Every structure is written in structure tokens, then in C-alpha cells.
Amino acid sequence: MLLAGCGAAAPPGLPGDAMVATGNEGGVFVTIGRELARAVPVADGTVSVVRTDGSVANLVRLTGGSADVGFSLADTAEAAFGGTGPFEAPQPVCALARLYDSYVQVVVRADSGVTRFDGLRGRRIAIGSAESGSALVANRLLDAAGLVPGRDVRTVHADLAAATAALEAGGIDAMIWLGGLPTAAVADLAARVPLALVDLDGVTTALDDRYDDVYRPSTVPASVYGTPAPVRTLSITNYLMASTAMPPDEVRAWLGALFSERVAGSHREAERLNPRTAIGTGSIPLCAGAAEAYRELGRGDR
């Protein structure tokens, strides 16, 4: 859906160079971010894309001024907004849009014998890059299960490519990943090595009690990776974020680009973007000017 269409006013262009921080989580951030950078109008300059470790790194860039917009998992965004977890103080961030959901995927080889999360005791686990949303969730899962890194489990930081390679080679016993379904790299590995997903029943309640419905009980269907049965897990919303210093005209320009036909055609998750749901950003406040932009999007939809 185009903001500059069906009677809506044309969105203003950005005044100069800009940067989109995509992370490297499942490739969806990268794919959508690349087309978002191409779709946003720029009066004088260019829009670049930077791939980072993930959600934490993206939010640090936003507050530090080295990126204009960035993708983040909802739990990481809430930690930044509240000044908890990896953030020592509340960060000046706001939400442009609610996007799609990522799913916690605790992946092991099918012959590992691990079926429940507490069965990871004594195992080597890849938990994502150091500044990724995957690492934040992995550490929360381990804490909820009473598994202490360095004592009960051995954790290593590794991005998706390194983690899948290590799992295939036997260098690790499990990987904890957040991404859309299916995650291409996991599906490719499943085509070579029989895999299983670890059931998170029992851990989900503890996380839900601690983090106010940020995590929602969900299911990975058996058909996604060819597992014997559906597996209970958690899903987490993703947001497109910005600094609270972003002017309303720039907010409107980014939202016009986000709901453009170009971005919609970039990925099946982008096809599902809808202003009616994108405006619901939970406890993270919308950026200044976003509510007006969504009203224009609504008028253009009629």
C-alpha cells in the first residue's frame, strides 16, 4: 500500500544521507531493510544499509546517531525503553511500526535425545551474536529454566551461519535462534541433517510471568522442518524503530516507504504488513508524527 496514493498527500523526502540498521536475524530484516532503503524518498543524498549483530546493536546505533531506522524484537525494544537488560538506562527510542512475528527455535540434531529445554543441561549451545535479540532471549530462557551458563551449560556466541555449520559438524549440541518460519538456513540444514526442535512447554509460563506478555505461546508446525510432530514454542513481535529525535516529516517518509509496493514485494512477511496492525506497538510509544501518517494511510485505503 502506498502512502502517496488514493488521495493521500505525497510523503516528504529525507533531507540527506540516511542509514537502515537491519541486523542479521533470519535474513528477513536484511531483505525488507534493503528494499526500504530503496523505497524511501531522499531529497539530497543516499540511503545505505548496515548489517549488524541484531536488535541490541540496532538500537545502540539509533541512539548513537549512526542509523536512522532499525529493526528490533519487541523484548529488546522494551528493554531499551525501560533501561533494563543490556541497557543501563532508558533509551530515547520510539516505534514506527509493528512488523511480523519471530519464533524461538531451539534446534538440535534428531539423534541428540533432547526433547525438553531442561534436557540441555551439560550441552554446548550457540545463543546468537553478542548484540542480537537471540542472545537476549536465550539468556532469559536459560535463567527461567535454572540453567546457569558456565556451570550447567556452555554457551557460545555465533551468528546463524556459524551456528548451523557448527551444529552440522558436531561442534555444538544445540542452537537458540529467533526468526520467521521457516528460517532458510535451518531448513537447508534440515535437508542435510535430521533435526528436532526442543519443546518449550514449562519455560513459557515462567517467561510470561516475568515479562508481561512480550512472549506468546506458539507452535511450530511439523511441516516447517519435517519434524515428527508440532513443537510448542514462543513468538515475539518485531518492530521498526527510530530515535525520538526523528522529525515528524521523516517519520512520515519512512512509513510511506514501508507500505510501498516495492517493500511489499520483497518478502512474504512484508506482503502481510497492514497499517491497521502495524500501528499497535504495545508499550513502545509511536514516534512523533506516526499517528498522523497512519491516519493518512487509512484514508488512502478507502
Where residue 60 falls among pLDDT bands split at 50, 70, 90?
very high
Which pLDDT score is estimated for 184?
A: 87
CB atoms within 10 A of CB 149: 15
Identify the residue with better confidence: 84 or 299: 84
pTM for this entry: 0.88
Task: Report in angstroms the alpha-carbon separations of 172 from 53, 113, 141, 149, 282.
Answer: 20, 14, 18, 14, 36
Mean pLDDT across the chain, nearest whole number? 90
Lowest mean pLDDT among 5-14, 25-34, 63-72, 133-142: 5-14
Instruction: Tell me whether domains 18-99+238-300 and 102-236 share a fold.
Output: yes
Where residue 59 falls among pLDDT bands split at 50, 70, 90?
very high
Superfamily (CATH H level) for 18-99+238-300: Periplasmic binding protein-like II (3.40.190.10)
CB 75 within 8 A of CB 136: yes
Q: Rounded distance, CA 215 to CA 244, Å?
A: 25
Where residue 299 falls among pLDDT bands split at 50, 70, 90?
low
pLDDT tens-place string over residues 171-215: 999 999 998 888 889 999 999 999 999 999 888 888 877 887 789
Nearest to 211 by CA among 290, 300, 141: 141
For the chain, the domains span 18-99+238-300, 102-236
Q: 102-236 adopts what CATH topology? A: D-Maltodextrin-Binding Protein; domain 2 (3.40.190)
Q: Residue 8: pLDDT above 50?
A: no
Q: Residue 96: pLDDT above 70?
A: yes
